[in-house]
């Protein structure tokens, strides 16, 4: 799995991050996991084509005691398996990491 990991976070900062994610991201059914929805204008042609049946498209954010992991696999919440599920391309990856960086900066969490 391709992922972006930020570790050695202060556990208090992780709790603040969790509260922030609960208000800004979609809560996943798995504990400490959230979905970050990818904007339509960043979707690939195939993801656009499959949007109605497979979307919305998201990447997962998972928090642990002192870490945040961002999976760079874009999946559709409407289907578990499909050819439109793929790793983020450069534009999608840049947007995802910009969102994470902005969130951490907004919360004044040093990385």
Average pLDDT, the chain: 93
Angle formed at CA 30 by CA 29 and CA 34, multiple of 5 degrees: 80
What is the residue extent of each domain of the chain? 3-106
- Mean pLDDT, residues 87-105: 96
Instruction: Check residue 51 and give its pLDDT.
Output: 76
Whether residue 79 has pLDDT greater than 80 = no
Q: What is the pLDDT of residues 61-77, one digit of tens each?
A: 999 999 999 999 999 98
pTM value > 0.85:
yes
* Average pLDDT of the residues in 9-25: 92
* CA 22, 25, 28, 34 torsion-angle sign: negative
pLDDT value for 59: 95
DSSP assignment, residue 42?
A: G
Share of the chain above pLDDT 70, in %: 100
When pLDDT is averaged across residues 81-94 and rounded to a whole number, the result is 95
pLDDT confidence of 105, banded at 50, 70, 90? very high
């Amino acid at each position: 799995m391709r992922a972006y990991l930020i570790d050695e976070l202060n556990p208090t900062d992780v709790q603040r991050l969790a509260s922030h994610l609960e208000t800004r991201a979609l809560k996943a059914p798995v504990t400490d996991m959230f979905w970050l929805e990818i904007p339509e204008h960043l979707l690939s042609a195939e993801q656009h084509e499959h949007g109605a049946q497979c979307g919305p498209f998201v990447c997962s954010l998972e928090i642990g005691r002192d870490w945040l992991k961002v999976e760079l696999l874009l999946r559709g919440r409407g289907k578990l398996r499909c050819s439109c599920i793929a790793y983020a391309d450069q534009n999608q990856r840049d947007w995802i990491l910009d969102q994470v960086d902005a969130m951490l900066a907004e919360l004044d969490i040093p990385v």
